[in-house]
Amino acid sequence: MFGFKLIINQEHPKRILTACLKTGRIPNAFLFTGKRGVGKRITAMTFAMACNCMGKELNTEPCGSCKSCLKIKSGNHPDIITVSPSGPYIKIAQIRSLCHILAMKPYEARLRVVIISDAQTMNPSAGNALLKVLEEPPARTILILTATQSSDLLATIVSRCQHIRFNPISTDNIVKMLIDKEGVDVEEAVVVANIADGSLSRALSMVKSSHRTNWPDQRRWLITAIGLDLPESMSMQPIGLLLAYAERLSKNKSIISDFLEVMLSWLRDLVIYKYSPEKIINRDLIDKVQCASQQIDIKSLFSKIEAVQAAQRNIEAKANLKLTLELLMMRLAFG
């Protein structure tokens, strides 16, 4: 199986894109929004392949085996251009370089495709430079921007794109894929899928980590050792011990983002349990969730959630990892 068939839980985006391919009426720019790991980038690449597939005059599904498809799959097609953040941001120099390329005709593609990943990270100068491209789109060129949400982009950029929203991947589909494709046992698959919260790439990174981790056990350690299961007692732990936890976490760089998602899923469950206990993620730990939820008030929970989210933002911005985690431990205990 190849092409759009591989993209799960995104029937609406696929329907829009295949309709564009069938009619030949393709907008100059698309904006794909949705959380990380739901298939925005692979959909963009598949669309680029379909636009340029040599198997037929115009395909709704790329053949995957023609010269053009093979070049795009290998990342060697000169007219399929990708732009992604350099560090925490997409910078003005990157967009200027793109503008220089777009001033020339495509080398060989029927339609040149530019994929700008994490477009929300463009700094203001980069955003304004891209806006000029969107106002005067180059011939035979399609721009595809991906972002988490449209509100993070300039309204003038959003207005010049056809906006397509991508859904979170269902937990059942993630569980099935982890079991069928990755050989994960049922218990771990359920835990990982729930923590991944609709992101297939996050689920896959958790099970494919080079430090292959048993996530049910790691989750229990994280929740218990740091004291998230007994929130009121966390502030009683020695500061040295909290800093030691931060140091231990900082040594697991490849999976630190997954650890932070575990924390978030747990803290959110403590909020949700107060109102809709049947909707919690960590269902297999419902007794612990109930106990912890009863110990802590909503204001403190929201403060702790903000602390974890701030740590996630700082890590994405390439801040010092150890210091970020030390600050997180302090805020979880005393914030």
| Beta carbons of 42 and 58 less than 8 angstroms apart | no
Contacts of residue 316, defined as CB under 8 A and 6 or more positions apart, other chains included, come to 88
Contacts of 36 (CB under 8 A, 6+ apart): 148, 199, 201, 202
Structural domain contains residue 138? yes
Inside any domain, residue 202: no
Q: What's the mean pLDDT in 292-303?
A: 90
* Same structural domain, 65 and 160: yes
Task: Over range 82-91, report the average pLDDT.
Answer: 88
Tell which of 135, 165, 195 closes a domain. Answer: 165
pLDDT at 116 over 50: yes
In a domain, residue 180? The reply is no
Residue 266 sits in a domain of what CATH number?
Answer: 1.20.272
- Bridge partner list, 80: 113
CATH number of residue 124's parent domain: 3.40.50.300
Residue 214: predicted pLDDT = 65
Please tell me the distance from the alpha carbon of residue 273 to that of residue 289, in angstroms, as a whole number. 7
Residue 231 is predicted with a pLDDT of: 65
**Euclidean distance between CA atoms 179 and 198, whole angstroms:** 16
Residue 210 is predicted with a pLDDT of 41
Sheet holding 80-83, edge to edge: 80-83, 112-116, 141-147, 29-33, 162-165
Same-domain check for residues 136 and 242 = no
Q: What is the DSSP letter of 89?
A: B
Q: Is residue 303 part of a domain?
A: yes
Q: Does the pLDDT at position 57 exceed 80?
A: no
Q: Which one, of 195, 168, 214, 187, lies nearest residue 265 by Cα?
A: 195
Q: What are phi and psi of 231, to 5 degrees?
A: -55, -40
Whether residues 11 and 130 share a domain: the answer is: yes
Q: Which is higher by pLDDT, 129 or 257?
A: 129
Give the pLDDT band of residue 59 (cuts 50, 70, 90). Answer: low
Q: What is the mean pLDDT of residues 133-145?
A: 93
Tokens of 319: 């801040």
Residue type, 140: R
The predicted structure's pLDDT at residue 232? 64
The CA distance from 47 to 21, in Å, is 9
pLDDT score of 333: 84
Asked whether residue 8 falls in the same domain as residue 153, the answer is yes
Assigned domain for 29 exists: yes
Comparing 40-54, 101-115, 141-155, 187-201, the range with the smallest average pLDDT is: 187-201
* Domain membership flag for residue 58: yes
Same domain flag for 150 and 240 = no
Lowest mean pLDDT among 217-226, 227-236, 314-323: 227-236
Q: Is 294 exposed, middle or buried (0-12, 13-18, 19+ CB in 10 A)?
A: exposed
Give the domain range for residue 330.
Answer: 209-334
Q: Which of 109, 130, 165 marks a domain boundary?
A: 165
Q: Identify whether residues 19 and 149 lie together within a single domain.
A: yes
Shared domain for 117 and 34, answered yes or no, is: yes
How many helical (H) and strand (E) elements, i.e. helices and strands, does the chain have?
A: 16, 5
Q: What is the mean pLDDT of the chain?
A: 87
One domain for residues 55 and 154: yes
| Lowest-confidence segment of 28-32, 133-137, 209-213 by average pLDDT | 209-213
In the chain, what percentage of residues exceed pLDDT 70? 94
| Domain count for the chain | 2
